[in-house]
Amino acid sequence: MEQKTISSAAWGQIALLALIWGASFMAMRIALDEIGVFTVVLHRTGWAMLALWAYVLIAGLEVPRDARTWGAFLVMGVLNNVLPFSLLVFGTAHLETGLVSIFNASTAVFGVLIAAIVFADEKLTRRKAFGVAFGFCGVAVAMGLENLRQFDLRSVAQLACIGAAVCYGSAGSWARARLGHLKPQMAAAGMLTGATVVMLPLVWIVEGPVSLSLQPVTWAAIGYFSIIATAAAFLLYYSILAKAGSGNLMLVTLLVAPVAIVLGAVVFGEALHPRHYAGFALITLGLAVLDGRILRLLIPARSNSV
């Protein structure tokens, strides 16, 4: 995994991105008070798509014209937007926003496992296997075995959040295999276009025509999670990737959950069970093992003490 030194500017961007994504769970919960799950997703992909296409045109990026690339955009839109956004919004409607963010933190764990299955150069080494195992244990602890024995709507919502993490992990492998030749901003615009094309008829069939006559607080929530937490966040994400490397982006995943937990407690009065924090601690440990830097620091220290 690529490792780079994190500059002060990159640290600032990582903290900002964590704040942005952490608050997106709160915004989705607010929007759900007036509109349905699929309509929330359509607003998120549709407005973000328009914003990113404006960026693509202003930046003068080359737009692909072949059907194969646009087919890849469609699949990527389903894997990285339609399915995970819908599952996370459904989970947000029935769970604490902080808990949803904890399950979302397992995305990197599933991404490593799926990449190991798909790509020959990303084999599941012993260190990665331990990291994945810790991550799975964290997910299981956060969910609680009693939720599988007493299966109810809350259990379904938790499984939906885990399913979203699996989708995100799968999308990473798909992007590497089919969209790696494109500018990331162009790939993001194309992906959101594919997602919006899928969401439009889905919303019409399941939830009816989209109304634009909404309360100001709902529009504020939509504006936040579509323009700021999706379109602007994508651009910020790729800026961090260029400065700090893919390995350091795991730090964003870890910082998002605490932000969402605090906002959930302050805004909605949410209180998580101790096992949720224990599960998050195990997921954090799994990500730390996958990242590998802590182990590399410990091993030389141990060697010097012998």
Tokens representing 66? Answer: 């072949």
Query: Given this model, what pLDDT does residue 39 score?
Result: 98
Q: Per residue in 151-170, pLDDT tens?
A: 789 999 999 999 999 999 99
Q: Per residue in 105-116, pLDDT tens?
A: 999 899 999 998
In this structure, is residue 82 part of a structural domain? Answer: yes
* Residue 303 confidence (pLDDT) above 60: no
Taking alpha carbons only, the member of 279, 244, 294 closest to residue 109 is 279
Q: What angle do CA 188, 128, 161 make, to 5 degrees?
A: 50
Residue that the structure tokens 């009693």 belong to: 146
Q: Per residue in 287-300, pLDDT tens?
A: 889 877 766 666 65
Query: Given this model, what pLDDT does residue 170 score?
Result: 92
Q: How far is CA 28 from CA 15, 201, 287, in A?
A: 21, 21, 26
In this structure, is residue 17 part of a structural domain? Answer: yes
d(CA 102, CA 269): 17
**Torsion sign across C-alpha atoms 44, 50, 56, 59:** negative
In this structure, is residue 134 part of a structural domain? Answer: yes
In this structure, is residue 2 part of a structural domain? Answer: no
In this structure, is residue 3 part of a structural domain? Answer: no
In this structure, is residue 129 part of a structural domain? Answer: yes
d(CA 28, CA 88): 9
Q: How many domains does the chain have?
A: 1
Query: Domain range spanning residue 74?
Result: 8-305
**Per-position DSSP letters for 267-287, written without gaps between them:** HH-----HHHHHHHHHHHHHH
pTM of the model as a whole: 0.90
